[in-house]
Structure 1
Amino acid sequence: MFIKPSEKTALIWKDENISYNEVLKNISAYSSLLTLNNFSKAAILSENRPEWIFAFYAGWKKKACIVPIDYMSSVDDVAFILNDCKPEYVFYSDTTRDTIQKVVSKISYEPFLINIDEIKTIKAEVEFSFPERDLNDTAVIIYTSGTTGSPKGVMLSFDNLLVNIEAVSKDVEIYKPEDKVLILLPLHHIFPLAGTAIITLSVGATAVFSPSMSSEDLIATLQKHGISVIIGVPRLYNLIRKGIRDKIDKSAIAKLLFKVARKKNSLSFSRKIFKKVHDRFGGNIKYLVSGGAALDPEVAKDFTTLGFEILEGFGMTETAPMITFTRPGEVYPGSAGRPLTTNEVKVIDGEIVNRGRNVMKGYYNRPEETADIIKDGWLHTGDLGYLDEKNRIFITGRKKEIIILSNGKNINPEEVEIKLASMSDLINEVGVFEKNDMLHAVIYPEYQKAKQKEIDNLEEYLTWNVIDKYNQSVTPYKKVMKFSLIKEPLPRTRLSKLKRFLLPELETHFDEKKKSAAEPDIKEYKLIKEFIQANKEVTVHPTDHMEIDLGLDSLDKVNLIVYLESTFGITLQETELLNFSNIQKLAEYIKDKKTKLNVEAVDWNSILKEHLDIDLPESWFTHNLIKNSAKVFLRFYFRLKGEGIENIPDGPFILAPNHQSFIDGLFVAVFLKNKLMKKTYFYAKEKHIKQGWLKFIANKNNVIVMDLSDLKSSLQKLASVLKKEKNIIIFPEGTRTRDGEIGSFKKTFAILARELNIPVVPVAIDGAYDAMPRGKKIPRPMKKINVKFLEPVYPGNETYDSLKDKVFEMVSNSLKKK
């Protein structure tokens, strides 16, 4: 268990190779600073570095128990730990200097403080051996990070550690002297402390520090030093797998090879096929070890397909850390392997319990809580699962995390989270909890991807493409009845375990954070705030996100962009506007970059009158032929009927139908006379018309292709069409109905009609949703579909909003009369 003298490299830190003998010299030097007689504990509050290792073994050399503390802990958390176990010495670093200085005033005693950055060369007698220890002595006290909100000091004996060392170095030779093991995770947790430091150094292998947890540093370390064993958490492997799969999925050949490798299921074959991937990771990876949380079986399958052997373990801080682990050659995705040979595992009422040498001594100064978890020698893990016929463990959830509704139904929130996350690549993280006897979710989205996909209303998109579809697929009690979008990642421990107990507080936290944010005392912020509040009728806070908190849609953003240009002389594109995470940052940018300050109202009349060169597509000879053929087919396939065609005035005009299906435009168009059809234009989003043949078809069939990320130019383009005495069709809802009900109208058409004095013809489409609801690929035949052209609405003295509301009411009332 202890370090033995050798000239072999023990640690690699940046470009420095530190031999076992040098490590022992430093341990002797550090231990010479611990001059108190019979002291019992030494704490370490530092980032990962060789000095952390020196301090750790120096304490052991003095027969002390070590208390590792997360260097990123808050002042209150550090003070709690020190007050709880009162270590006589605290090693810290320059990085944690400010924290420890603040902690001193909050604790009830005076520890000796040693800054490892101020330790100079110390001449000390080098003693290569360690004193004999009783295996029942407490070796470390590891404070749990508090996924349930109550950190406790876990007392682990030398025997607890020794049984873990023997399990993977003697019983099963996973660790060997020739290995290079990566130190990536923070050493204050028992999983990386045992897996990357204690076991590595006890077998005479080499531990290599990664300078940071960034992907660049990780890859550079793997390649430079030929790492053979990586100790990581599922979140790390999820990210690595995602990066690899994204590249594979972009290549048809790579996808085919991946399928072949999956079917062949041979590590040696996969390593040859995906040699480039292995070379990317240094070309020497023997094992990927996963612990700290359950590994997604799909992730395990993908790594196996790529030729990596991923060994998943199951355990907890209280077992130092292993209860079960996967032996080489026995990878079975979904299972965390078989128990250690020295312990017993069984399942009682669905809960996994463990007995053996790996079970902790207890919680420090908490006998009652120790008695709650260790009963008759059996450690009750709190994890739910089962053992199969080969004695392999399968974890199904956490006992304390199971949601029990008032009707007695049990729900595993992790199952719901996995299902929701799998339904869209726009979900970065999701957490599920119970509130008011119903499931509630908080979602941290992939905001950048949403921008790239030009999704205007992310909340609405996720409502219908994720939540609604999920709810339709599950039994009623498992439905997610409410969800919220958040702007920061979910709260997790340093090993990425979800702090589930904090989920219900997230919404309250963000609301309170917004309300408590100090208002910037700059004129630019006040003007922007007043403009948004006047136009959107919402309360604006400095930290508000433009889309999530304020609900700005494309037209609202164009309004704001025009206002910024007219008031401050700054021109922004919509994509640039969204780069500002909140209103305060936008205001600060405007303050620094403005060329004028002249408050003006947004003048759409002037905007739409700006000259814009536009070549209108000319309808081909097939245009009306296609329309008339479509009319015959649609009348045959559906029971299609049109009325009120006489209400269509002489052009120019705007047709404003509600939107029920993906061929609503065709339903309207087939009732237009040939001559009128030639003068009527549709528009399509540029992202949908990227292929050359689609552009050709659009250009020959009165389809104007527009970039809706630049809505100002798009509106100017539509205005140019109307000014040329042509007609346009605009769907005011902006998107198809999700549930058959008419959605709210956006005022784009009202601005065009009002400023150009163009009449609007409301069009009520009824029955198309029943024939083709969202997700239906083949329309249902013989459904009755009615297209009704209502009396035209002339703008007159209407405002944008009143004109929009009037058209909406006409369409809505017509649908109600069916």
Structure 2
Amino acid sequence: MLKEAGQHSAITYGSDKLTYEQLFGKIHHFAGLYQVEPGAHVVIFSENRPSWIYAFYSVWKKGAVAVPVDYMATAAEVAYILGDCDPSAIFCSSGTSAILREATGLSGCNAPVLLLDDHEASGCEPLPSAGLPGHQPDDTAVIIYTSGTTGSPKGVMLTFRNIIVNIDAVSRHIPIYKSDSRVLVLLPLHHVFPLLGTMIIPLYLGSMIAISPSMASEDIIRTLQVNKVTILIGVPRLYAAIRKGIKDKINQSSLATLLFRIARKLNSKKFSKTVFGTVHRKFGGALETLVAGGAALDVEVGNDFKTLGFEVLEGYGMTEAAPMITFTRPGRVRIGSPGECMPEVQIQIIDGEIVAKGPNIMKGYYKSPEATAEVLKNGWLYTGDLGHIDKDGFLYITGRKKEIIVLSNGKNVNPVELEDELLTSPYIKDCGIFFENDQLQAIILPDQAELAAIPGRDAEDILKWDVIEPFNRKVSAYKKIMRIHVTDQELPRTRLGKLQHHKLIELVHKQHISDISQPVFDHPEYALIADYLEKEKGQRVLPSYHPEMDLGMDSLDKVGFQAWLQQTFGIDLPPQKMAEFASLAQLAEWVSDHKVRMEEGDVNWNDILREKLDLKLPSTWKIGSLAFRLSRHIFQLYFRYSSKGVDNIPDGPCIIAPNHQSSFDGLFVASVMKTKQIRETYFYAKEQHFRQKFLKYLAARNNIIIVNLNVDLKQSIQALAEVLRQEKKLIIFPEGTRTLNGELGHFKKTFAILSSELNVPIVPVVIDGAFKALPKGRRFARLWARVRVEFLPAVHPEGRSYDAIAALVMNQIQRKLSGKEPD
């Protein structure tokens, strides 16, 4: 695993240089510092330095397994790894020794500790060979612990075969590395990407590696220049930072800007290297290849480096693939794609997920057979990443499966897609999208230099109205950002630059971002409005808040607020007009100018629901009720289908309230009802689902009330009340949308308001098994799945509050689903 390259330079570190023979001597010396059995685990806990490399190869010389650990890990994280891998020896540096002492105390690990600083400068006799033993291909070479997003870290066991396959791929099949390559060691070596790309592969081939003393730009540039580096391996954020510095200078000169445009059009590497020779000399004059990995490379960043005359190669992979799955071939660059399948590797897309198979795939997770079985299925590695492959075999990554946000209405949102769009704004330096309180929210790190160019407005105001508001206008309703948080801190990312979405909510809660130092707004109308909204939404309200973007007011909230404003101030403020105000402060000022009275009171839903509404109920086709009856027989043939309790449906008006498990639920409920009951029962549907004339025609003849919650919220709810007032029955799903996990969701209180104010009973309905039969995303229902429908005894409002009615109905259904009798 090490080339016998004699006096050829192996490692440079600042002004220090080592030949291969000197490197072999160092490895031999480090191997003599400790005694371990073949196959034992040896931890390396240190920042990048030459002795890190000596320690690593000494482990292989002893026939042991190297376990690199992030030098920035906490004591608790290190303690977990020590307890899990049970090392026989530990290397650390003076910079990590304090953390290690705490970690060994926590874990009870008593392995001998060797301080790299004590031995790094030791004089050693040069040797002609490293003397590494002959390892078997399937022997474990290294265990790398992945941080993951949930749960404890998992130790990825990579074999020598996994490593050799990757080496051959980029040296023989795709000749990026050569014996005369000079590679910059920049990223921390405990990650598999830089471990192979900047250490193992170059030293295997007899190339030279140059270690940058730090991530400071001065050290990086000096290392590039002094060592004439030919290959730079970095993460997208590094390239974005470098590119910004270059583009800023180009944009300062009209001539440079023109030449850059010409170079983009010509697409000639020779022309670009000539015109932008100053840039190339800045990087040492020998830099040919930029390799990006660890996260997706921004398309504009890649294109700009290509325009400057550099070869930009992007790869995709993960620790479990040692690490490469796809890679860009020189001359076949498609910016935006991490390339084509690696030699000897197969990839395919299963249900949108990228899966890979080949000799580069890990042995498994150390001591975690269950976790291994979750990602390795029939030899295929299920990456958890979403993507597609074009007709030419180029892979495109579209997101992370676990990071897909599933909204309460069942819609899927890819946060990366929204983040990429927001990051096109010059005012945003970084951002992250997360989901909380049934809202899509964004945490934003603004670009202060850009904001400073707009005097008289604060950051949040600019971001909200110059970025988020236009963004919300052009995206689908379910993708709207409902609240923003502004921070001056870097967002949580992995060492390779991936945004850690799971930490965003914690960051917001910890810092109370954007709720600090809000100006006092001394306004009597605002005081009443804020008090009402705080009670309704159960959260703090500030003058700068927008009713929708910050408070996430839904349809029912807006109707209630509209009624409260009418009762308290004597004004009529339609929901459409409500959305025009930039903040509650502006709304309060408008109310102050237009109010006819100021008498605080509660929302009177009785008056709202009893307002006269001219609603003609749709006529009923007899064929409609016949179709419901027929569907019952189909269900009995296809499923193990049962029902009971239909006699609990009273005569006269009532609300039938089922839990919601599948797209068949309406049919499941109606199909077991009696013919007379079916004809008296009405469904409600959102207008956006019935825009076609044919669908509207069917709705008008099949007991379907179409409501438009976006145009007239108040009238929509009044229409539902009118159905009940005309002595009919109404089916309402209190959850509002199908369950995503089989569990009962939150019950919205619209049905409870209707029941209380119109004094009509509610019939709770239990639907059980439909989720397993037809979960969201499945095209065809499972044959012979057990599905049951049970109508429970009616619940009467009896003076209960809206919340109490909703809770009682939910409790009755929950108890039945869990096998208990309802109260």
Q: Tell me which interval the TM-score lies in, with the shorter structure as reference length.
A: 0.5 to 0.7
Paired AA for residue 47 in structure 1: E
Q: Return the offset for 1:232.
A: 0.4
Match of 2:508 in 1: 507
Match of 1:58 in 2: 58
Q: Return the offset for 1:450.
A: 2.8
Paired AA for residue 327 in structure 2: F
Q: 1:269 aligns with which of 268, 271, 277?
A: 271
Match of 2:756 in 1: none
Q: Return the offset for 1:125.
A: 9.9
Q: Return the offset for 1:25.
A: 0.1
For 1:33 and 1:39, locate their aligned partners in 2 and report how far apart those are by CA, in whole Å.
Answer: 17
Match of 2:324 in 1: 322
Match of 1:10 in 2: 10
Query: Where do residues 629-778 of structure 1 align in structure 2 (5 Å cutoff)?
Result: none
Paired AA for residue 454 in structure 1: P
Q: Return the offset for 1:388.
A: 1.4
What is the TM-score normalised by the length of structure 1?
0.63
For 1:149 and 1:502, locate their aligned partners in 2 and report how far apart those are by CA, in whole Å.
Answer: 13
- SS in structure 2 at match of 1:422: coil
Q: Return the offset for 1:743.
A: 7.5
* More off after superposition, 20-29 vs 490-499: 490-499
Q: 1:392 aligns with which of 388, 391, 394?
A: 394
CA contact (8 A) 2:60 2:141 kept: yes
Match of 1:751 in 2: none
Match of 1:79 in 2: 79
For 1:406 and 1:295, locate their aligned partners in 2 and report how far apart those are by CA, in whole Å.
Answer: 32
Match of 1:23 in 2: 23
Query: Where do residues 273-422 of structure 1 align in structure 2 (5 Å cutoff)?
Result: 273-422=275-424
CA distance 1:44–1:3, shift in 2 (3 Å): farther
1:589-643 deviation line (CA, Å, top 9, x unaligned): xxxxxxxxxxxxxxxxxxxxxxxxxxxxxxxxxxxxxxxxxxxxxxxxxxxxxxx
CA distance 1:229–1:122, shift in 2 (3 Å): closer
1:292-351 deviation line (CA, Å, top 9, x unaligned): 011111211111111111000000000011001001111111111111121111111111
CA contact (8 A) 1:297 1:333 kept: yes
For 2:459 and 2:149, locate their aligned partners in 1 and report how far apart those are by CA, in whole Å.
Answer: 30
Q: Return the offset for 1:270.
A: 1.3
CA distance 1:246–1:552, shift in 2 (3 Å): farther
1:345-374 deviation line (CA, Å, top 9, x unaligned): 111111111000010000111100100000
- SS in structure 2 at match of 1:58: helix
Q: Return the offset for 1:442.
A: 0.7
Structure 1 moving runs of 4+ over 4 Å: 122-127, 512-515, 531-537, 549-553, 736-745
Match of 2:475 in 1: 474
Paired AA for residue 57 in structure 1: Y
Match of 1:249 in 2: 251
1:374-401 deviation line (CA, Å, top 9, x unaligned): 0000001111111112211111111111
CA contact (8 A) 1:319 1:358 kept: yes
Paired AA for residue 485 in structure 1: V
Query: Where do residues 153-192 of structure 1 align in structure 2 (5 Å cutoff)?
Result: 153-192=155-194
Match of 2:113 in 1: 113
Query: Where do residues 129-278 of structure 1 align in structure 2 (5 Å cutoff)?
Result: 129-148=131-150, 150-278=152-280
CA distance 1:20–1:513, shift in 2 (3 Å): farther
Q: Return the offset for 1:741.
A: 9.8
Paired AA for residue 25 in structure 1: G
Match of 1:36 in 2: 36
Paired AA for residue 75 in structure 1: A
Q: Return the offset for 1:535.
A: 11
For 1:446 and 1:552, locate their aligned partners in 2 and report how far apart those are by CA, in whole Å.
Answer: 24
1:643-681 deviation line (CA, Å, top 9, x unaligned): xxxxxxxxxxxxxxxxxxxxxxxxxxxxxxxxxxxxxxx
Give the share of equivalent positions with the same residue, in percent. 46
Q: Return the offset for 1:39.
A: 5.8
CA contact (8 A) 1:383 1:398 kept: yes
For 1:223 and 1:194, locate their aligned partners in 2 and report how far apart those are by CA, in whole Å.
Answer: 23
CA contact (8 A) 1:146 1:499 kept: no
Mark the runs of 5 or more structure 1 residues left unpaired by the alignment: 516-528, 538-548, 554-735, 746-818
For 1:164 and 1:388, locate their aligned partners in 2 and report how far apart those are by CA, in whole Å.
Answer: 24
CA distance 1:475–1:103, shift in 2 (3 Å): same
Q: Return the offset for 1:406.
A: 2.2
For 1:257 and 1:296, locate their aligned partners in 2 and report how far apart those are by CA, in whole Å.
Answer: 22
Q: CA RMSD in A?
A: 3.0
Is it true that 1:88 corresponds to 2:85 in the alignment?
Answer: no
Match of 2:497 in 1: 496
CA contact (8 A) 1:148 1:499 kept: no
Is it true that 1:450 corresponds to 2:451 in the alignment?
Answer: yes
Q: Return the offset for 1:221.
A: 1.5
- SS in structure 2 at match of 1:504: helix
Q: Return the offset for 1:447.
A: 3.1
CA distance 1:533–1:263, shift in 2 (3 Å): closer
- SS in structure 2 at match of 1:372: helix
Paired AA for residue 444 in structure 1: L
Match of 1:647 in 2: none
- SS in structure 2 at match of 1:358: coil
What is the TM-score normalised by the length of structure 2?
0.62
Mark the runs of 5 or more structure 2 residues left unpaired by the alignment: 525-539, 545-579, 590-823
- SS in structure 2 at match of 1:192: helix
Q: Return the offset for 1:534.
A: 12
Query: Where do residues 768-807 of structure 1 align in structure 2 (5 Å cutoff)?
Result: none
Query: Where do residues 574-589 of structure 1 align in structure 2 (5 Å cutoff)?
Result: none
Q: Return the offset for 1:172.
A: 1.5
Paired AA for residue 511 in structure 2: F
CA contact (8 A) 1:142 1:189 kept: yes
For 2:321 and 2:358, locate their aligned partners in 1 and report how far apart those are by CA, in whole Å.
Answer: 9
CA contact (8 A) 2:37 2:63 kept: no
For 1:512 and 1:483, locate their aligned partners in 2 and report how far apart those are by CA, in whole Å.
Answer: 9
For 2:62 and 2:38, locate their aligned partners in 1 and report how far apart those are by CA, in whole Å.
Answer: 8
